[in-house]
Amino acid sequence: KKASWLARLRGGLAKTGQSIGSLFIGVRVDEALFEELETALIMADAGVEATEQLLKALRLRVKRDRIEDAEGVRQALREVLTEHLKVLEKPFDVGRVKPLVVMITGVNGAGKTTSIGKLAFALQHSGARVLLAAGDTFRAAARQQLIEWGDRNNVNVIAQEGADPAAVAFDSVHAGRARGMDVVMVDTAGRLPTQLHLMDELKKIRRVIAKADPTAPHEVLLVVDGNSGQNVLAQIRAFDAAVGLTGLIVTKLDGTAKGGTLAAVAAGSQGVRPVPVYWIGVGEKIEDLQPFVASEFAAAVVG
Looking at 21, 135, 165, 281, which residue binds ligand GDP (CB under 6 A)?
A: 281
Considering the complex, state which of residue 253 and residue 263 has its C-beta at the smaller distance from ligand GDP: 253
d(CA 81, CA 90): 16
Q: Which is nearer to ligand GDP, 61 or 191 (CB)?
A: 191
Query: Does the footprint of ligand GDP cover residue 95 (CB under 6 A)?
Result: no
Q: 3-state SS of 2-46?
A: HHHHHHHHHHHHCCCCCCHHHHHCCCECCHHHHHHHHHHHHHCCC
Q: Can you tell me the distance from the alpha carbon of 131 to that of 124, in angstroms, rounded to the nearest whole number?
A: 10
Q: Is residue 114 a contact point for ligand GDP (CB under 6 A)?
A: yes
Q: How far is the CB of 250 from ligand GDP (least distance, A)?
A: 9
How large is the angle between the packed helices 231-243 and 196-212, nearest 10 degrees? 50
User: Is the separation of the CB atoms in 6 and 27 below 8 Å?
Assistant: no
* Distance between CA atoms of residues 249 and 181, nearest Å: 22
What's the closest the beta carbon of residue 225 comes to ligand GDP, in angstroms? 8
Shortest-Cβ-distance residue relative to ligand GDP: 281
Half-sphere exposure of 151 (CA within 13 A, CB side): 7
Residue 299's SS3 state is helix
Per rule CB under 6 A, is residue 112 in the interface with ligand GDP? yes
Of 34-42, 54-62, 171-179, 248-256, the window that binds ligand GDP (rule: CB under 6 A) is 248-256
Residue from the set 108, 126, 144, 195 that interacts with ligand GDP by CB under 6 A:
108
d(CA 169, CA 180): 16
Q: Does residue 113 touch ligand GDP according to CB under 6 A?
A: yes
Stretch that binds ligand GDP, among 69-77, 103-111, 152-160, 196-204 (CB under 6 A): 103-111
Q: Which is nearer to ligand GDP, 118 or 218 (CB)?
A: 118
Q: Is 259 in the site for ligand GDP (CB under 6 A)?
A: no
Per CB under 6 A, 190 contacts ligand GDP: yes
The residue within the footprint of ligand GDP, chosen from 255, 260, 263, 297 (CB under 6 A), is 255
**Phi, psi (deg, nearest 5) at residue 49:** -60, -55
DSSP 89: B
Report the residue number, 61 or 252, with the smaller CB distance to ligand GDP: 252
Interface ranges with ligand GDP (CB under 6 A): 106, 108-114, 190, 251-252, 254-255, 281-284, 288
